[in-house]
Amino acid sequence: MRQTLFSLRYLFALGWRLDRRRLLAGAGMLLLAALATPAVAVSLGRLVDGVAAGHSAAAVRWAVLAAVALGVELTLDNFAHIYYFELSEITDEHLNRDLIRLVNGTSRLDRRDDPAFADRIDLLRQDVLQMRMTVQSGLQLGAIAAQVLFTTVLLITLSPVLLILPLVALAPVFLGRRAEQFMQVARERQSPTTRSIRHLRLLTTNPASHKEIQISGSAGHFVARQDGLLNTYNSAMRRAQARHASLVAVGQVLFALAYVGSVLWVYGMARRGEASIGDVVLVVSLATQVGAQMASGLDLLGVVHRSAAGLRRFLALRDETEAAAATVPDAPAPMTVGGGLRLESIGFTYPGAAAETLHDIDLELPAGHSVALVGENGAGKSTLIALLLGLYAPTRGRLLVDGIDLSGVSPQQWRTGVAALFQDFAKVELSLQHSVGIGHLPEVESREAVLGAVGRAGAGPLADRIGGPDALLGRAYGDGPDLSGGQWQRIGFARTLMRRRPLLLALDEPASALDAMAEQRLVDAYQAMAKEVAVAVGGVTLFVTHRLSTVRLADLIVVLEGGRIVERGTHGELMTLGGQYAQLYAGQARAYAD
| Interacting residues toward ligand ATP by CB under 6 A | 113, 350, 353, 357, 375, 377-383, 423
Rounded least distance, CB 341 to ligand ATP, Å: 18
Dihedral over Cα of 250, 256, 262, 267: its sign: negative
Specify the residue, 118 or 575, whose C-beta has the smaller distance to ligand ATP: 118
Element (H, E) at 406: none
On the CB side of 137, how many CA atoms lie within 13 Å of its CA? Answer: 24
Rounded least distance, CB 583 to ligand ATP, Å: 17
Q: What 3-state class would DSSP assign to 569?
A: strand
Specify the residue, 281 or 391, whose C-beta has the smaller distance to ligand ATP: 391
Whether residue 491 contacts residue 435, with contact meaning beta carbons closer than 8 Å, is answered with: yes
Residue 275 has phi, psi (to 5 degrees) of -145, 155
Rounded least distance, CB 496 to ligand ATP, Å: 17
Rounded least distance, CB 546 to ligand ATP, Å: 7
Whether residue 429 contacts residue 474, with contact meaning beta carbons closer than 8 Å, is answered with: yes
**In 3D, which of 176, 174, 298 has the Cα closest to residue 244?**
176
Specify the residue, 313 or 547, whose C-beta has the smaller distance to ligand ATP: 547
- Rounded CA-CA distance 536/503 in Å is 9
Rounded least distance, CB 384 to ligand ATP, Å: 7
Whether residue 280 contacts residue 266, with contact meaning beta carbons closer than 8 Å, is answered with: yes
Helix axis angle for 219-271 and 170-189, nearest 10°, is: 170
- Other C-beta atoms within 10 Å of 470: how many? 11
Rounded least distance, CB 350 to ligand ATP, Å: 3
Q: Which residues are within 8 A (CB) of 63 and not within 5 positions of it... i.e. 6 or more apart?
A: 43, 47
- Rounded CA-CA distance 549/564 in Å is 23
Specify the residue, 299 or 376, whose C-beta has the smaller distance to ligand ATP: 376
Q: Which residues are within 8 A (CB) of 130 and not within 5 positions of it... i.e. 6 or more apart?
A: 303, 306, 307, 310
Rounded least distance, CB 391 to ligand ATP, Å: 10
Q: Hey, which residues does 342 pair with through a beta bridge?
A: 364, 400
Specify the residue, 172 or 380, whose C-beta has the smaller distance to ligand ATP: 380
Q: Hey, which residues does 358 pair with through a beta bridge?
A: 348
Q: Where are the alpha helices (DSSP H) in 392-550?
A: 411-416, 432-437, 447-456, 460-466, 485-497, 516-537
Rounded least distance, CB 223 to ligand ATP, Å: 28
Specify the residue, 151 or 550, whose C-beta has the smaller distance to ligand ATP: 550
Rounded least distance, CB 361 to ligand ATP, Å: 12
Whether residue 443 contacts residue 450, with contact meaning beta carbons closer than 8 Å, is answered with: yes
